[in-house]
Structure formats: C-alpha cells, structure tokens
A and B are shown apart, each in its own frame.
Chain A
Amino acid sequence: MSGHKQLRIALRNCGVIDPENILEYIARGGYMALGKILDEMAPEDVIDELKKSGLRGRGGGGFPTGLKLEFARRNEGERKYIICNADEGDPGAFMDRSILEGDPQSILEAMAICGYAVGANEGYVYIRAEYPLAIERLTIAIRQAYEAGLIGDDIMGSGFSFDIKIKYGAGAFVCGEETALISSVEGNRGEPHFKPPFPAEKGLWGMPTTVNNVETLANIPSIFNMGAGRFAEIGTKTSKGTKVFALAGNVNKVGLVEVPMGTTLREIVYDIGDGIVGGKKFKAVQTGGPSGGCIPEQFLDIPIDYESLKEIGSMMGSGGMIIMDEDTCMVDIAKYYLEFTTDESCGKCTPCRIGNKRLYEILCKITKGEGTEEDLDSLKELGGIIKDTSLCGLGQTAPNPVLSTMKYFYDEYLSHVRDKKCPAGICSSLTRYEIIADKCIGCTMCAKACPTACISGKVREPHKIDQAKCIKCGACFKACKFDAILKS
C-alpha cells in the first residue's frame, strides 16, 4: 500500500519488527513509556497526559480514553481490572488482528500503563477464537514480557505489579459490547446488561473495570513517547491522532491504511486505494460495519472524524471500510447487514430480537419484488423505534444500514417496489435475461451452461430462453462471448 498520506502511529511496528522477539520491540523504544511513567509520574499525571492528548476510543464509541481511566481510578474497589477488547466483530475488518499479530508487546505495555493509572493489578485480553495466529503471538509476548520483568510482580523495581491473562471468545458478535464481554470473561452467556452501572463502577466480578480497544491501546505508548501535545496536533478539532482502516471491497489496493483524522474519503479511496476495480463507477463506502451506514459520492470530500461521519448517518466504528461499485445493490447490502444483526442478536430484548427480524423480512420481500411503498414507510418507522428502545448498542444501531441507504439511495428502493427492477442487477428475482436474436451466433455455449436446460435453439441459429423455467442464475450471461444476452 502506498505510503502517500499515511501516518503510522498505531501500526508503527507492524511489519517492521519480529513480533515474537521482545528485544526488537524494546530496540524501537518499547517499554520506554512504561519505564518513564513508573519512574517519574503519578497515576493522576498519566491520566492528565492522556486527556491532553485527546485520544478517544477506537473501538467504535469514541469516548475519551483519559476520562474513562479517571472514572475507574475514582471508583473504589477491592481489585480493579483492565480489559483489552480484541473481539473485533465487524465482519470485514482486521485492524486489531494485525496489531496483535504484528506488535503484541505494545498492547501489553499499554495495559500496564492503564493499570498503573487506575490502580489495577490485573488485566485480561479478550480475543476471538477465530484468530489463532494472534493468540499464539500474544501468548509468546506475554511469556517474554514476564521473563523480562516488564509485566508481573514489582515491574522494573517500581513496586507496581501487573498480571495479564488471555480469555477467549467463542463466536458471538455481541460479546464485543463491553458489558457482554465482561459477562463472557466471567464464563457466562455473553448477554449485555443495562448501563448504568458502567464497567468503571461495577465491571468484572463487580469491580471497577476499564475496557479498551486494541488500537486505542496501541496508541498509548506512542503518546507518552512523542508527548501528548504533539499527538494532539494531529487530526481535527474533536478527533486527534490517526485512525486505522481496513480498506476492502471493490477497490484496487486493499489492506490496512492508517491516516490522520481529517483525511477525506476521496484521498483514501483514490490516492491510497488507487480507485475502483476495473475502472467502474464508485457508488458508496460503508463505514462502521453493521452499526454504520453507506456514504454516497457527494460526501467524498468531507474530512472524516467521529463527528462528521455521524452527521452523515454513518459512524467511525472500529475501522472497517468497504468500497462498493456501481454493481452493488443497496437494498441487498442493507439486507446483508440485517441478516447479520438478527443472527447475532442475543435475544434479550424484544425491539432488537423481533424488530430487526421484521426489518429483515421486509427487506427480503423487497428484494424479491414483492415490496410496496408502504413497506418503505414501515422500514423507516420501525427502524426508528428499534433505535430508541433497544437495550444495547447492537440493537440501537442495527437499523442504521437500512436507514442510511434509504436516505441516500431512495430511488433504488423505489425501483424495487414500484418498477420491480433492481438497477444494479443483483436481486435475482427482479432480473431478466434475454437473448438478442440479432447478436446471437448460435454457438450453444449458453445452453450448455444453463443448469435448468431452459435455453433452446439449433447450432448457428439464434437461441431462446424459456422465461417460465429460468431461475435467473446468470450462468448463460457469463457464458456468452458475443454480448448476445441482455440482463435487465
């Protein structure tokens, strides 16, 4: 990926050091921040420094990290905990995985710094079981850090002790939500519960707990090494530092990018991502995963930060960024995300369990060509109710992909319900294949490809599709080398 316009803070060591050798991390300034903090700084100073840096949570919510630590510091508890959220549930995002695989020590150092700041002596990394390599590297990193005396008892002779253990997820998206995550660390079903109490008051085993995302943590040692002031110079007024995005979809160069907050989508898609595959037309970019929305072309030039993305109906999310070209059907995309959220809903509260299922059913109806204009109104109304009444972030944000696509691509929804057409040609029930007699040379390729044998015609004579038997699989369309099949 081109280095142009990128700035690596969270990813500073990824691909540069051997992640299985703690000495390489130390050689690049690793554990300097922790050493300095334990040696010279009071916990309150650590919190002040983080507040001054303007660092906000990279796991989706964007809550100021310094403030979060301050709450946990203030709350009394027999024990306190730091949890690293490495559940990375957004399907199509892999920032956290790359950091854990490429620079696991930075996470351990940051957790120890947070532990010192709030007065916690125990930390857990909650990592999804689907990431075996990250788990392996993290395990090695923890062992090496213990051996070097950089975590464990009496770190660097400071009198401060901090232990780190790993806990495994087991394939539940909702466990990325912090209260559900805590319940899962305790060995229970990962069901969210109502906040307050916040984890900073009553978290793991009822004790004050801070949950931080992997990328948030990866920034922390750098903030102390470069100085909070310098960190705060990067980015926009409300959002400081950089953000890592996992660029994927119909873009030429896919992969991780780390850019200063305030970079425009156009710079990411065209300068860094090198534009759309096959020279096709850009249609939308999806950010925020199942909680986010689709952003149309008209907003390509806004500087992105937490606030600007929210204003246009999407959100920063954890950093998944999916580029979609003109051949993507927005109703189909909304349906895809709703299928995901209904599948992952824990079922504890009704608006999310039943409401999102209804949204999904309506979207299915529309993509099958059975939708009506009233259905579009129901989507909007129901979506609003679900957002207002769901218990946790999953339900509260689940309607976003529908609402944002309806806002910017309403015509496309209308085509589906009014004209019974899918402009992108994705919804198969609404697609029709026809052979143009003038162009067909009768090569028989389409007939051979058709799984239902519904194409007839003699060799070297125009062929014909029996529409009653056609299942709209598109095999003939792909097989024809003479552009003789019209898809509409």
Chain B
Amino acid sequence: MCNNSLAEEKFKELDAFIDGLEEDEGNLIVILHKAQNLFGYLPREVQLHVSRKLKLSAAKVNGVVTFYSYFTEEPKGQHVISVCMGTACFVRGASDILSSLQEKLGIKCGETTKDGKFTIDSLRCVGACGLAPVVIADGRVHGRVEIDDLDKILVELESGVR
C-alpha cells in the first residue's frame, strides 16, 4: 500500500461511501467498484476492510472479487494500454496489434512491465467497432490502429503529450 496517511484518507472516503448507501444486501459489487476506483486495485487489506465493514466473510468478498474480470488484485502500471479483442476488431487484425505490442514491451497481455510503467490488457468491444481495430491508451480511444502507430502511442503515453 502506498503512503499510510494517504491510504487512511481513502479508507475514510470508502467508509463514508458505504455509510451513504441505502441498505441493500446487493451492494457489495458497487462498493468494490468504488474501492477499486480509490485504490486502483483491490489488495488483501482493502478486501478485508470491506468484509469487516459489511460483516461479510472474507471468503465471500474474495469470491466476488475473483469472479469478475473488472476487479483486479494486482496493481496496474502507470499507463494502461488496452487492445480491443471484440469480434469487429478481431476480424480487422486486432490480434496482430496485440502480439506486436506484447513483443515491444516484452510482457504478455495482463502483465505489467518491471519498471511499473506499462500494463497491457485486452477488452471486449467498447462499442467503437466502426473504428476497428481499437486501442485504448490511458482512457483515450485510438481507432484504425496499425502496427506502425504503436510506437507513437507509447511515446505519447510516456511523455504525457496528447
């Protein structure tokens, strides 16, 4: 976990969020969304905190976290590059884009580079199929991506230029 007082702030915000919700047994998922937004991922201590606060077993919380692919127990890199692997992107060459990106960064999809800079992951259809193949770099959508565009995208991410 990062800086302790910072983490404390985040736990406080999470608790306030939980207290503000209407009573509903089905709230666990929305709470985990909030927690992941705050912390960036769902490490053990965050899961335990949620389970204590909601009076649920830690096994139940972990069961839900591991079931849904949106939740992650590993921190992500500074920059996240997601390649859309939806069908429309796939038939327009998304797998070549993904393999080339993996080769460039020397990591597999779902992994983070050793220096913590980049994470590659894959998505399934962001609804921009008309622009296929689509790559999302730190939330920014790049359409009709070709392998030759990847270097530029990586440089842009690293330098913060957009």
Chain A residues within CB distance 8 Å of chain B: 89-94, 97-98, 129-131, 167-173, 184-191, 246, 248-250, 254-255, 286, 289, 320, 322, 324, 328, 333, 336, 340, 346, 451
CB distance from A318 to the nearest CB of B (A): 12
New contact pairs (5) apart from A92-B90, A129-B33, CB-CB < 8 Å:
A91-B125, A129-B70, A173-B124, A249-B92, A320-B87
Per the bound structure, the CA–CA distance linking A330 and B157 in Å amounts to: 36
Query: In the complex, what residues of A have CB within 8 A of residue B28's CB?
Result: 187-188
- Chain A residue contacts of B68, Cβ below 8 A: 169-172, 190
A-B contact pairs, 24 of them (CB 8 A): A90-B87, A90-B125, A91-B86, A92-B129, A94-B125, A94-B129, A98-B127, A130-B123, A167-B30, A168-B29, A168-B33, A169-B70, A170-B32, A171-B69, A172-B67, A172-B68, A249-B88, A249-B91, A250-B91, A250-B92, A254-B88, A286-B87, A322-B91, A340-B124
Contact B71 A170 (CB under 8 A): yes
Residue of A170, A184, A254, A324 near B130 (CB, 8 A) is: A254
In the assembled complex, the Cα of A322 lies from the Cα of B91 at a distance in Å of 8
B residues less than 8 Å from A167 (CB atoms): 26, 29-30
A328 CB contacts on chain B under 8 angstroms? 91
Chain A residues near B91 (CB-CB < 8 A): 249-250, 322, 324, 328, 333
Interface residues in B23-81 by Cβ distance below 8 A to A read 25-30, 32-33, 63-64, 67-71
Contact in complex: B67, A190 (CB < 8 Å): yes
Partner of B27, one of A187, A190, A333, A451: A187
Chain A residues with Cβ below 8 Å from B92 are 249-250
Q: Is B26 touching A171 in the complex (CB atoms < 8 A)?
A: no
Contact with A along B73-108 (1 / 0, CB 8 A): 000000000000111111110000000000100000
The 10 tightest CB contacts between A and B, nearest first, are A92-B87, A248-B88, A170-B68, A94-B127, A171-B70, A91-B86, A187-B28, A91-B124, A171-B69, A248-B129
Question: Are the CB atoms of A255 and B130 closer together than 8 Å?
Answer: yes
Chain B residues 101-122 with CB under 8 Å of chain A are: 103
CA distance A186 to B91 in the complex (A): 37
Closest B residue to A255 using CB positions: B130
Minimum CB distance partner of B67 in chain A: A189
What secondary structure prevails in chain B residues at the interface with A? helix
- A residues in contact with B87, CB < 8 Å: 90-92, 248-249, 286, 289, 320, 322, 336
A129 to chain B: closest residue by CB: B70
- Given the known interface contacts A91-B125, A250-B92, A254-B129, the answer about A168 and B67 at a Cβ–Cβ threshold of 8 Å is no
Q: How far is the CA of A322 from the CA of B25 in the complex (A)?
A: 40
Any A CB within 8 A of the CB of B14: no
A371 shortest CB reach to chain B, Å = 20
Asked whether B132 is an interface residue with its Cβ less than 8 Å from the other chain, the reply is yes
User: For the complex, is B126 an interface residue (Cβ under 8 Å from A)?
Assistant: yes
Q: How far is the CA of A93 from the CA of B48 in the complex (A)?
A: 37
Q: Are the CB atoms of A189 and B129 closer together than 8 Å?
A: no
In the bound complex, CA of A169 to CA of B33 (Å) = 10
Shortest C-beta distance, A192 to chain B (Å), equals: 12
CB pair A91 B127 closer than 8 Å: no
Report the minimum CB–CB distance from B150 to chain A (whole Å): 14
**A-chain residues with CB within 8 Å of residue B85 when the two chains form the complex:** 91
The reply to whether A246 and B129 contact each other, CB–CB distance below 8 Å, is yes
A189 touches B63 (CB 8 A): yes
Which residues in B have their C-beta under 8 angstroms from that of A333?
A: 91
Contacts of B88 in A (CB 8 A): 92, 248-249, 254, 322
Tell me how far the C-beta of B39 lies from the nearest C-beta in chain A, rounded to whole angstroms: 16
- Map CB proximity to A onto B112-152 as digits: 1 under 8 Å, 0 otherwise: 00000000000111110110100000000000000000000
For the complex formed, measure the closest distance between the CB of A281 and the CB atoms of chain B, giving whole angstroms: 15
CA A340 to CA B84, docked complex, whole Å: 13
Within the assembled complex, what's the spacing in Å between the Cα atoms of A186 and B25? Answer: 6
Complexed CA–CA distance, A254 and B30 (Å): 34
Contacts of A249 in B (CB 8 A): 87-88, 91-92, 132
Report the minimal beta-carbon distance from A412 to chain B, rounded to whole angstroms: 16
- Of B88, B90, B124, most buried by chain A (CB within 10 Å of CB) is B88
Are A187 and B25 CB-contacts (below 8 A) given A92-B87, A92-B88, A249-B92?
A: yes
State how many angstroms separate the Cβ of A182 from the closest Cβ of chain B.
10
Chain A nearest CB: distance from B62 CB in Å? Answer: 10
Q: By the criterion CB–CB under 8 Å, are B90 and A170 in contact?
A: no
Report the minimum CB–CB distance from A452 to chain B (whole Å). 12
A392 → B minimal CB distance (Å): 15
Contact A187 B29 (CB under 8 A): yes
Q: CB-CB < 8 A to B67: which residues of A?
A: 172, 189-191, 346
A337 to B2, CA, bound (A): 40
